[in-house]
């Protein structure tokens, strides 16, 4: 059948005083028409129910925020600011990883729409650019530092790290050397966890309990190794939301790379993570 333009369709609908749906159902028995409409209403109700049920807490993964570098890990300052403003407008309240873990133990209440904003690697722009944007909006964040990069060109210094901590940024470990732990033997992986935690704590950073896997690479035995090293939680690069049933050593996290399609792309990334959580795709439940 020939496709009609929108104008022609509405002209015919007006002239016949019938919608195209009515016309297509004309001649169909009442029983089938009720089934048809009923199925449609049920499908709409199902999707509404899925979308209004909270899927858990999203965690965002950032690296650099500046206007000087243009690699995939860099979000320009204006775009980052727009993303943060969107989160606030959408009713999200940033919490720390510790807030989530305390709530998990029943020791703290979470706000209505909690979200955790994280930064990996510890680039200097996290101090010069990211911090003022978050601070002026009263937003918290968590930073995972590679300890052997502290004070290197382009990376945070000890003074900056300590100042960030004072100003509401929670610090965690991203190992000492940023090598994917799955490429190391057990003793080396253990050293990376232990050394980075000790160095941070020796230098005046509060107890380190959060960990971020370099390159998001993990395997079955790394969670227990982290537990032995007195970490309480670790974040992956696997999209999804986190509930109190999520394995705390394999927390779901949504990567936010340099955007190519503006704020819509950011919203779609969040939506994809929520959908994965609702449908149970690649979600790490407690075993």
The residue (of 120 and 238) whose beta carbon lies closer to Zn ion is: 120
Residue whose CB is less far from Zn ion, 84 or 181: 181
Q: What are the structure tokens assigned to 283, written together?
A: 């979600």
Provide, rounded to whole angstroms, the least separation between the CB of residue 120 and Zn ion.
4
The region of 23-31, 118-126, 195-203, 257-265 touching Zn ion under the rule CB under 5 A is 118-126
Q: In the set 120, 125, 149, 238, which binds Zn ion (CB under 5 A)?
A: 120
**Pairing status of strand 64-65 against strand 74-75:** parallel
- How far apart are the C-alpha atoms of 36 and 287, rounded to whole Å? 42
Nearer to Zn ion, 235 or 277 (CB): 235
Phi-psi region of 153 (alpha: psi -120 to 50; beta: other; left: phi over 0): beta
> Which is nearer to Zn ion, 92 or 155 (by Cβ)?
155
Residue 117 C-beta: closest distance to Zn ion, Å: 16
Stretch of residues binding Zn ion (CB under 5 A), selected from 7-15, 92-100, 106-114, 115-123: 115-123
Q: Is 170 in the site for Zn ion (CB under 5 A)?
A: no
The helix or strand, by DSSP H or E, that contains position 269, with its residue range, turns out to be: helix 262-279
CA distances from 95 to 103, 139, 152, 186, 260 (A): 11, 8, 29, 33, 27
Where does residue 133 rank: exposed (0-12), middle (13-18), buried (19+ CB within 10 A)?
A: middle
Comparing CA positions, the residue from 98, 139, 115 lying closest to residue 252 is 115
Tokens of 256: 């936010």
* Shortest reach from residue 159's CB to Zn ion, in Å: 22
By CB under 5 A, is residue 121 in contact with Zn ion?
A: yes
If binding is defined by CB under 5 A, does position 149 make contact with Zn ion?
A: no
Residues in the chain, total: 287
Pairing mode of beta strands 141-145, 169-173: parallel
Span of 119-127, 135-143, 195-203, 225-233 interacting with Zn ion by CB under 5 A: 119-127
Cβ closest to Zn ion, residue 120 vs residue 125:
120
Q: How far is the CB of 232 from Zn ion (least distance, A)?
A: 20
CB of residue 121 to Zn ion, shortest distance in Å: 4
Q: Which two tokens stand for residue 248?
A: 């705390």
For the bound state, the minimum distance from the C-beta of residue 178 to Zn ion, rounded and expressed in Å, comes to 6
Kindly tell me which of 104 and 197 has the beta carbon lying closer to Zn ion. Answer: 197
Q: Which residues make up the interface to Zn ion (CB under 5 A)?
A: 120-121
């Amino acid at each position: 059948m020939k496709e009609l333009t929108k104008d022609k369709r509405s002209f015919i609908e007006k002239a016949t005083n019938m919608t195209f749906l009515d016309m297509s159902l004309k001649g169909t028995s009442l029983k089938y028409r009720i089934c048809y409409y009923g199925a449609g209403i049920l499908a709409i109700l199902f999707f509404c129910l899925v979308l209004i049920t909270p899927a858990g807490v999203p965690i965002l993964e950032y690296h650099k925020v500046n206007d000087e570098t243009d690699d995939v890990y860099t979000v320009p300052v204006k775009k980052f600011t727009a993303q943060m403003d969107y989160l606030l407008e959408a009713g999200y309240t940033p919490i720390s990883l510790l807030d989530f873990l305390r709530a998990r133990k029943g020791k703290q209440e979470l706000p209505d729409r909690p979200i955790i904003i994280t930064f990996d690697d510890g680039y200097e722009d996290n101090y010069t650019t990211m911090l003022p944007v978050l601070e002026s909006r009263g937003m918290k964040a968590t930073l995972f530092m590679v300890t052997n990069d502290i004070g290197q060109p382009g990376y945070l210094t000890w003074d900056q790290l300590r100042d960030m901590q004072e100003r509401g940024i929670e610090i965690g470990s991203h190992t000492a050397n940023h090598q994917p732990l799955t490429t190391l033997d057990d003793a080396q992986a253990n050293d990376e966890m232990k050394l980075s935690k000790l160095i941070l704590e020796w230098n005046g950073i509060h107890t380190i309990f959060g960990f971020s896997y370099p390159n998001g690479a993990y395997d079955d035995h790394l969670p227990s190794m982290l537990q032995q090293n007195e970490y309480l939680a670790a974040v992956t690069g696997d999209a999804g939301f986190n509930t109190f049933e999520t394995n705390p050593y394999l927390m779901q996290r949504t990567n936010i790379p340099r955007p190519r399609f503006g704020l819509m792309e950011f919203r779609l990334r969040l939506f994809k993570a929520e959908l994965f959580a609702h449908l149970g795709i690649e979600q790490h439940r407690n075993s």
